[in-house]
Chains A and B, each alone.
Chain A
Amino acid sequence: MVGIPRGLLFYRFYWLWKTFLEELGVEVRVSPPTNKAIIRRGLTYGVEEICFPVKVFLGHVMAIQDEVDFLFLPRMVSFHRREYTCPKILGLPDLVRNLFGISSERIITGEVNMRDTGIWGWRQGFLEMGRRFTRQEGKIMRALKRAEEAHKRYREKLKTGILPEHLIDRREEVVPKEKKVLLLGHTYLISDSYINMNIVQKIHTLGYGVVTQDMVDEQRVRKYLSLLQKPSFWTISNEIMGTALLYLKERDPRLKGYIHLVSFECGPDSLVGEVIERWIKRESETLPYLRLEIDEHTGEAGLLTRLEAFVDMMEWRDAHLESNLSSSLAP
Chain B
Amino acid sequence: MRATFPHLLHLDVALGILYPTLGIEIVPPPPLTRKTIEIGVKLAPQNACFPLKVTLGNFVESIEKGADTLFMAGGVGPCRFGYYGQIQRLILEDLGYKVQFILLDHPRYGIRSFVQALRTMTGGKISPARIVRATALAWKVLRFTETIEAKRRALRCLVERKDALDRVVEGTLTRLRWVESVTALEEIIRSTEEALRALPLVREEGEVLKVGIVGEVYVAQEKRINFDVERLLGDLGVYVHNSVSTVEYILHTLPFTRSREKEETWRLARPYLQRFVGGEGIDSVGSAIRYAQWGFDGVVHLYPFTCMPEIVAKGILTQVSKDYDLPILHLAIDEHAGEAGLITRVEAFVDVLERRKKTRRKSEVGRAWTYS
Which residues of A are at the interface with B, using a C-beta cutoff of 8 A? 46-47, 49-50, 75, 77, 82-88, 90-91, 93-95, 98-99, 101, 111, 228-230, 232-234, 264-271, 273-275, 278, 281-282
Contacts and interface: CB of A to CB of B under 8 A. Distances in A.
27 contacts: A46-B315, A77-B275, A83-B77, A85-B78, A87-B79, A87-B312, A90-B78, A90-B275, A93-B274, A94-B274, A99-B318, A228-B86, A230-B86, A232-B83, A232-B86, A233-B76, A234-B77, A234-B78, A265-B47, A267-B306, A268-B80, A269-B47, A270-B48, A270-B80, A271-B48, A274-B87, A278-B91
Contacts of B49: 267, 270
Given A85-B78, A233-B76, A90 B306 contact: no
B30 interface: no
Nearest to B312: A91
Interface in B265-291: 272-279, 281
Contacts of B307: 267
Given A267-B49, A274-B48, A274-B90, A233 B312 contact: no
Interface string B156-182: 000000000000000000000000000
A328 B89 CA distance: 38
B90 to A, nearest CB: 5
Interface of B: 45-49, 74, 76-80, 82-83, 85-87, 89-91, 94, 103, 109, 272-279, 281, 305-309, 311-312, 314-316, 318-319, 332
Contact of A84 (B77, B89, B91, B311): B77
Given A75-B275, A83-B77, A87-B281, A267 B308 contact: yes
A284 B133 CA distance: 50
A154 B80 CA distance: 31
Given A271-B80, A271-B83, A50 B94 contact: no
B278 A90 contact: yes
A271 B312 contact: no
Q: Which of A234, A264, A270 has the most CB of B within 10 A?
A: A270
A267 B80 contact: yes
Contacts of A270: 45-49, 80, 306
Contacts of B273: 91, 94
B316 A95 contact: yes
Nearest to B269: A94
A95 B273 CA distance: 8
A232 B85 CA distance: 11
A271 B142 CA distance: 31
A320 B91 CA distance: 31
A75 B332 CA distance: 27
B306 A274 contact: no
Nearest to A109: B274
Given A98-B272, A275-B87, A47 B315 contact: yes
Given A87-B79, A90-B78, A94-B272, 4 more contacts: A87-B312, A90-B312, A230-B86, A230-B103
Contacts of B103: 230
Contacts of A46: 315
Question: Closest 9 interchain pairs by CB?
Answer: A233-B77, A270-B47, A84-B78, A91-B312, A87-B278, A98-B319, A47-B315, A274-B45, A87-B308
Q: Which of A84, A230, A264 has the most CB of B within 10 A?
A: A230
Q: Which of B49, B83, B86 has the most CB of A within 10 A?
A: B83
Contact of B279 (A83, A87, A266, A275): A87
Contacts of A233: 76-78, 82-83
B9 to A, nearest CB: 24
Contacts of B274: 75, 93-94
Q: Which of B45, B49, B94, B109 has the most CB of A within 10 A?
A: B45
Contacts of B276: 90
B62 to A, nearest CB: 22
A98 B316 contact: yes
A90 B277 contact: yes
Contact of A99 (B79, B89, B315): B315
Given A87-B308, A90-B278, A270-B47, A95 B315 contact: yes
A234 B82 CA distance: 11
Nearest to B282: A91
Contacts of B87: 271, 274-275
A159 B243 CA distance: 49
Nearest to A272: B83
B128 to A, nearest CB: 28
Nearest to A94: B273
Contacts of A93: 274
Given A233-B76, A270-B48, A273-B45, A49 B306 contact: yes
Contacts of A271: 45, 48, 80, 83, 87
Nearest to B87: A271
Nearest to A281: B94
Q: Which of B46, B274, B312 has the most CB of A within 10 A?
A: B312
Contact of B275 (A111, A267, A273, A282): A111
B275 to A, nearest CB: 7
A86 B307 CA distance: 12
Contact of B316 (A86, A87, A94, A111): A94
A278 B79 contact: no
A99 B322 CA distance: 11
Contacts of B79: 87, 267
Given A90-B275, A264-B47, A98 B315 contact: yes
Contacts of B308: 86-88, 267
Contacts of B85: 230
A95 B313 CA distance: 8
